[in-house]
Amino acid sequence: MFEDGEKKRIFVEESICNGCHMCEVMCSFVNTQNFYPNKSNVKVINYEWKGRNKPLVSCDVETHAPCQTLPQCVAFCPTGALVWATKDEFATMVYDLHQNIEAKPSYKARAPWTLR
């Protein structure tokens, strides 16, 4: 049906993740109807020595019905570190982000695609 690059999936731009764990909380709510981050398909790993956070997503959105249109972890990510897009769309978004980050320092804290 779709070429691999045309399917929407969850991508991570870890450079703007602030480690808030909102993605874990919302994913667990979708899965269990309760807020249990341990039941989430998203885990945020904090690399203190690097000063970075990295969301790890293990969700198969094709078989997980609540997430087939817009995954809630993406919808509630306050910084835009989680992105629901095709591979080409994501590549363009990240390229634009890094091209403009010097001109607009606020992009270091929140991606432009969250400013809708």
Q: How confident is the model at residue 3 (pLDDT cuts 50, 70, 90)?
A: low
**pLDDT at res. 1:** 44
Q: Strands 42-47 and 9-12, how do they pair?
A: unpaired
**pLDDT at res. 84:** 93
- Average model confidence (pLDDT) across the chain: 85
Distance, CA of 74 to CA of 77 (rounded, Å)? 5
With beta carbons less than 8 A apart as the criterion, state whether 12 and 81 touch: yes
**pLDDT at res. 115:** 66
Domain count, the chain: 1
Domain residues for 44? 4-114
Query: Looking at residues 86-107, what average pLDDT do you find?
Result: 88
Q: Which residues, in sequence order, are bridge partners of residue 42?
A: 57
pTM of the model: 0.83
For 45, other C-beta atoms within 10 Å of its C-beta total 12
Q: How confident is the model at residue 44 (pLDDT cuts 50, 70, 90)?
A: very high
Tell me the one-letter amino acid at 73: C
Residue 70 sits in a domain whose CATH number is: 3.30.70
- Which H or E run includes 35? none
Q: Strands 9-12 and 82-85, how do they pair?
A: antiparallel
Q: Which residues, in sequence order, are bridge partners of residue 53?
A: 46
The DSSP letter of residue 113 is G
